[in-house]
Amino acid sequence: AQSVTQLDSHVSVSEGTPVLLRCNYSSSYSPSLFWYVQHPNKGLQLLLKYTSAATLVKGINGFEAEFKKSETSFHLTKPSAHMSDAAEYFCVVSELSTLTFGKGTMLLVSP
């Protein structure tokens, strides 16, 4: 069975500082991993995906994530936060076409 743990329910940063959203997973197979972002009253938008190619994955809006099999982690980073990055972020593991969502991390960005 697969599972996803997002280690922080809330992360607060100042505009212009780095962002780190942490995600650990467990999977019996070689999983695919995704990060999604959800702005208020909107659906989920795909930020990036890992599907067993390069371990460092670049996504939209300057986000990237690194797949570390030895640490079973897939942390999301961005060098410099923007006010528009304030949203909820979901780490998702996909195994045999079944998606499992983390509980989400709310990113708060202050001026």
Partner 1 sequence: EADIYQTPRYLVIGTGKKITLECSQTMGHDKMYWYQQDPGMELHLIHYSYGVNSTEKGDLSSESTVSRIRTEHFPLTLESARPSHTSQYLCASSGAGSNQPQHFGDGTRLSIL
Interface residues toward partner 1, by CB under 8 A: 31-32, 34, 36, 41-46, 49, 51, 88, 90, 94-97, 99, 101-104, 106
User: Do 88 and 22 touch, CB atoms closer than 8 A?
Assistant: no
Determine the Cα–Cα distance for residues 98 and 111; give it in Å rounded to an integer: 39
List, in order, residues 6 or more apart from 99 with CB less than 8 Å away: 34, 92, 93
32, 35, 38, 44 alpha-carbon torsion, rounded to 10°: -30
User: Least distance in Å: CB of 91 to partner 1?
Assistant: 10
User: Least distance in Å: CB of 59 to partner 1?
Assistant: 11
Closer residue to partner 1 (CB): 30 or 70: 30
Closer residue to partner 1 (CB): 4 or 19: 4
3-state secondary structure of 83: helix
Closer residue to partner 1 (CB): 15 or 101: 101
User: Least distance in Å: CB of 85 to partner 1?
Assistant: 18
Closer residue to partner 1 (CB): 7 or 106: 106
